[in-house]
């Protein structure tokens, strides 16, 4: 059990997405429009348009960000014990913004980090909960969900150490829910 726990905790901070696929032609067409510091990445728990409007208003109020947003919703696999799985992503436009729906993820934080590297956003707005860290860590290790904001940051830092580049990294904002 101890070896399994240590192994899972080490894997939890790895960028372990083997590949991703667009689900349709429209997504394949939109994808290149988003790359290269063109959007702000905003992971969001709900797929409802009202949740996106509310989050956009909150970000605009506190951060005065300009430019389009890519709202990203991640759906986990039913079998979360998988080490890695290919992602399927669908992209759509919603006014000036974009909506990304990701299916087939093994962990939310790993998926957000992967999408950040795939799209190279201007900034990333990550939500933080007000729950205790130990409970969050256990939820993340056991179920692939929990305090994803800090885990995304940790995964990206580790990935950036392995892949030095001259490119400017995205700004990362941690927002309290």
93-149 residue pLDDT tens: 999 999 999 998 888 888 888 899 889 999 999 988 777 777 777 776 676 566 778
Determine the Cα–Cα distance for residues 23 and 165; give it in Å rounded to an integer.
30
Task: For residue 12, give the nearest of 98, 81, 67 by alpha carbon.
Answer: 81
pLDDT band for position 55 (cuts 50, 70, 90):
very high
Which is more confident, 5 or 136? 136
Three-state helix/strand/coil letters over 87-127: EEEEEEEECCEEEEEEEEECCHHHHHHHHHHHHCCCEEEEE
The helix-helix angle for 108-119 and 148-162 (nearest 10°) equals 50
Task: For residue 14, give the nearest of 102, 114, 103, 104 by alpha carbon.
Answer: 114
Q: Average pLDDT, whole number, for the chain?
A: 83
């Amino acid at each position: 059990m101890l070896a399994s726990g240590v192994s899972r905790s080490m894997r939890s901070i790895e960028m372990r997405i083997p590949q991703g696929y667009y689900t349709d032609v429209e997504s394949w067409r939109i994808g290149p429009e988003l790359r290269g510091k063109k959007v702000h990445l905003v992971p969001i728990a709900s797929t409802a348009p009202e949740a996106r409007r509310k989050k956009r208003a909150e970000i605009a109020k506190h951060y005065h960000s300009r430019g389009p947003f890519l709202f990203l919703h991640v759906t986990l696999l039913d079998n979360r014990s998988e080490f890695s799985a290919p992602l399927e992503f669908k992209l759509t436009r919603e006014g000036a913004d974009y909506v990304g729906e990701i299916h087939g993820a093994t962990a939310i934080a790993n998926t957000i980090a992967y999408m950040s590297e795939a799209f190279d956003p201007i900034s990333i707005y990550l939500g933080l909960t007000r729950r205790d860290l130990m409970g969050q860590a256990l939820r993340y290790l056991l179920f692939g969900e929990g305090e994803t904001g800090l885990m995304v940051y940790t995964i990206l830092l580790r990935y950036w150490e392995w892949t030095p580049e001259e490119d400017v990294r995205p700004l990362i904002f941690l927002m309290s829910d």
